[in-house]
Structure 1
Amino acid sequence: MHPLIAAPFLSDRLVLLPGSGQGLKISPLHFAELHHRAANDGLVPDWLSSAVSRHWAADISGCTLRDVMLVRDVSPYGYVRASWEIDKGCDYDCPHCYLGQKKFEGISAKHKLRLLKIMRDAGVVWLQITGGEPLIDRHFPLVYQAAHELGMMVAVSSNGSQLHKPLIRDLFTRHRPYRLTLSVYGATADTYDGFTRNRGAFDRFSRGLAAAKEADLPVRLNIIVGEHNAHEIPAMKALAEDHGFPHQVYTNMSPTIDGGAEPLPTQAADYLRKRFPFTGCNAGHTFFHADPFARASICKVGRDPQIDLMTEGVEGLRRLGGIADSLQLRTGGCSGCQLSGTCWTCRPLAKLYQEAKAPRKTYCQHSDGR
Structure 2
Amino acid sequence: MHDLIAAPFRNEHLVLRPGSQRAVKIGAAKFTDLENAVKAGRALPGWLVDVARRAWGVDTFDRPAHAAVLVRRPGPYEFSRATWELNLGCDFDCEHCYLAEKRFEGLDWAGKARLLHVMRDAGVVWLQITGGEPLIDPQFPAAYQLAHELGMQVELLSNGSQLGKPRMLELLAALPPTKMSLSVYGASPETYDGLTRRRGAFKRFTRGLDAAVAAGLNIDLSLIITNRNAHEADAMRAWADRLGVARREYANISPTIHGGAETLPSQSPEHLTQRAPFTGCPAGHTFFHADPFGRASICKVGREPNIDLPTEGVAGLARLGSIADSLMLRTGGCTGCQLSDTCRVCRPMAKVFQEAKAPLKNYCQHG
TM-score in terms of structure 1 length = 0.98
Deviation at 1:310, TM superposition (A): 1.6
Greater mean alpha carbon deviation, residues 140-149 or residues 234-243: 234-243
Give 1:38's aligned residue: 38
Give 1:280's aligned residue: 280
Give 1:262's aligned residue: 262
Structure 1: how far apart are the matches of 2:198 and 2:282?
A: 37
Structure 1: how far apart are the matches of 2:227 and 2:195?
A: 10
Q: How much is the aligned-residue C-alpha RMSD, in angstroms?
A: 1.0
Q: List aligned pairs for 1:69-148, cutoff 5 A.
A: 69-148=69-148
Give 1:343's aligned residue: 343
Give 1:311's aligned residue: 311
Structure 1: how far apart are the matches of 2:61 and 2:361?
A: 60
Q: Which amino acid is 2:195 matched to?
A: F
Structure 1: how far apart are the matches of 2:10 and 2:265?
A: 41
Give 5+ residue unaligned stretches, structure 2. Answer: none
Structure 2: how far apart are the matches of 1:96 and 1:31?
A: 47
Greater mean alpha carbon deviation, residues 305-314 or residues 183-192: 305-314
Deviations 1:125-160, CA, capped at 9 Å, x for gaps: 000000000000110000000000000000000000
Give yes or no for contact 2:115–2:294 (8 Å, CA) kept in 1. Answer: yes
Deviation at 1:161, TM superposition (A): 0.3
Give 1:235's aligned residue: 235
Q: List aligned pairs for 1:123-272, cutoff 5 A.
A: 123-272=123-272
Deviation at 1:337, TM superposition (A): 1.8
Deviations 1:94-116, CA, capped at 9 Å, x for gaps: 01001111000000011101100
Question: What is the DSSP-based 3-state SS (H/G/I as helix, E as strand, rest coil) of the residue aligned with 1:54?
Answer: helix
Structure 2: how far apart are the matches of 1:219 and 1:271?
A: 24
Give yes or no for contact 1:80–1:286 (8 Å, CA) kept in 2. Answer: yes
Structure 2: how far apart are the matches of 1:255 and 1:49?
A: 50
CA change 1:32–1:60 in 2 (3 A) is: farther
Deviations 1:158-194, CA, capped at 9 Å, x for gaps: 0000001011100001101000000000000000000
Give yes or no for contact 2:118–2:310 (8 Å, CA) kept in 1. Answer: no
Question: What is the DSSP-based 3-state SS (H/G/I as helix, E as strand, rest coil) of the residue aligned with 2:245?
Answer: coil
CA change 1:201–1:41 in 2 (3 A) is: same
Give yes or no for contact 1:44–1:60 (8 Å, CA) kept in 2. Answer: no
Structure 1: how far apart are the matches of 2:182 and 2:356?
A: 28
| Percent identity between the two aligned chains | 58
Deviation at 1:21, TM superposition (A): 1.8
Structure 1: how far apart are the matches of 2:12 and 2:96?
A: 39
CA change 1:216–1:61 in 2 (3 A) is: closer
Q: Does 1:48 align with 2:12?
A: no
Question: What is the DSSP-based 3-state SS (H/G/I as helix, E as strand, rest coil) of the residue aligned with 1:87?
Answer: coil
TM-score in terms of structure 2 length = 0.98
Structure 2: how far apart are the matches of 1:121 and 1:135?
A: 25
Greater mean alpha carbon deviation, residues 97-106 or residues 17-26: 17-26
CA change 1:256–1:177 in 2 (3 A) is: same
CA change 1:61–1:207 in 2 (3 A) is: closer
Give yes or no for contact 1:60–1:68 (8 Å, CA) kept in 2. Answer: no
Structure 2: how far apart are the matches of 1:203 and 1:60?
A: 40
Q: Which amino acid is 1:269 matched to?
A: P
In the alignment of these two chains, the number of paired residues is: 367
Give yes or no for contact 1:46–1:61 (8 Å, CA) kept in 2. Answer: no
Question: What is the DSSP-based 3-state SS (H/G/I as helix, E as strand, rest coil) of the residue aligned with 1:34?
Answer: helix
Greater mean alpha carbon deviation, residues 30-39 or residues 149-158: 30-39
Deviation at 1:3, TM superposition (A): 1.1
Q: Which amino acid is 1:256 matched to?
A: T
Deviations 1:234-281, CA, capped at 9 Å, x for gaps: 111111112111101111000100000111110111111112210111
Structure 1: how far apart are the matches of 2:189 and 2:58?
A: 43
Structure 2: how far apart are the matches of 1:107 and 1:79?
A: 22
Deviation at 1:62, TM superposition (A): 5.4
Structure 2: how far apart are the matches of 1:38 and 1:327?
A: 43
Greater mean alpha carbon deviation, residues 51-60 or residues 292-301: 51-60
Question: What is the DSSP-based 3-state SS (H/G/I as helix, E as strand, rest coil) of the residue aligned with 2:313?
Answer: helix
Question: What is the DSSP-based 3-state SS (H/G/I as helix, E as strand, rest coil) of the residue aligned with 1:127?
Answer: strand
Give 5+ residue unaligned stretches, structure 1. Answer: none
Give yes or no for contact 1:79–1:288 (8 Å, CA) kept in 2. Answer: yes
Greater mean alpha carbon deviation, residues 333-342 or residues 67-76: 333-342
Greater mean alpha carbon deviation, residues 350-359 or residues 63-72: 63-72
Structure 2: how far apart are the matches of 1:117 and 1:39?
A: 21
